[in-house]
Every structure is written in structure tokens, then in C-alpha cells.
Amino acid sequence: MTTQKCTAEAITRVILETLENFQLLTSQVLLFVTDGAATMLSVGRSLKEHEVDALISSTKKVFLKSPKRLRAFHTQCHGVSEPPQPIITRWGTWLVAAFYYDKYFREIKCVLLKFNPKEAAAIKESQMTFQTRLHAAITRLKNTALPLAQSLQIVDDVNTVLQTISD
């Protein structure tokens, strides 16, 4: 694949197309190594946002038009409002959803993991996104004072989780 212009958007598109060709999710990418140039940093941010969007989108599909799954959610998450269903053309609704998932991450994950992944592709995708533990790993890796050995152990732990999921 070649790109006419070397912009963050063009590089992100090439990376996403390549991942799709190999049937990989962005949540399965453990490490993104660049030369640190501003364009590449922008690509990294864009891919991270894509992962959040995938979590919101797949989880929306899990509960959309499924009274059975919504009942399971209400049974297990007393007092927690239903997951928001953002409208793609309204950024405010997407931000509300992102903050919601940040606040109720554990509760939603607990409910989703009880669903049968063979029942719907969205369930499987959502479960994989929640199970990768990338959020915690990324937060720990941001610590610049972390010794290299600990950083590599974090990456190894995430890899082990991903291998367990794919088995």
C-alpha cells in the first residue's frame, strides 16, 4: 500500500487497512513503536481513539434491540443507567458514552462476560475489547520512571491475556 501524502490520517488508514487484511483488531496491537515524529504521535493517538470507539460501538450493538440482554444488565447493575447509544453525527453523545464507560467499566465488563460470545459477533468483539486490559497496561507504561524490565513484563502479561482470549 502506498499513500500520496504522509499525513497522520493517511498512515492511520493504511495501518487500519493492514490490520483488517490480517483480521486483527486494534485492541490486539500491543506495542506501537515510532520515531517520535509529530505525525506518528498523531497516528498513535488516532489508533487509541479508534479502540475506544470500537468498545462503544460493539457494546452498543450488544444491547441494541435485545430486551433479554438489557434485563440481564438491570438485574446485575442495580442503579446504573443503561449504556448510552451515541449518535455518530453528534460528538456530545459520543463523549457522554466515553465518560460512562470510564465510570462503569467494571460493571459493564462483568455483565458482558456472562453473555455467550457465539450468540452475536458484537458480544465477542465487546468481550475481547473489555478483556484485553489494555487501559491499565497503557496507564502503567506511561510512567517514564518505570524500569525497562517492568515495562516488558507488562507487555508480556497483556500478550498472555490476548493468547488466552484467542484460544
> What are the sequence ranges of the domains in the chain?
8-132, 133-167
More confident residue, 110 or 31: 110
Residue bearing cell 510512567:
143
Place 152 in a pLDDT band, splitting at 50, 70 and 90: confident
Burial 35-50, CB ≥16 within 10 A → b, else e:
eeeeebeebbebbeeb
**Taking 70 as the threshold, does the pLDDT of residue 132 lie above it?**
no
**Higher-scoring residue by pLDDT: 150, 37:** 150
pLDDT top residue among 144 and 16 = 16
Which 8-state DSSP code applies to residue 81? P
Nine cell digits for residue 84: 448510552
Residue 122 clears pLDDT 70, i.e. is over it: yes
Percent of the chain with pLDDT over 70: 62
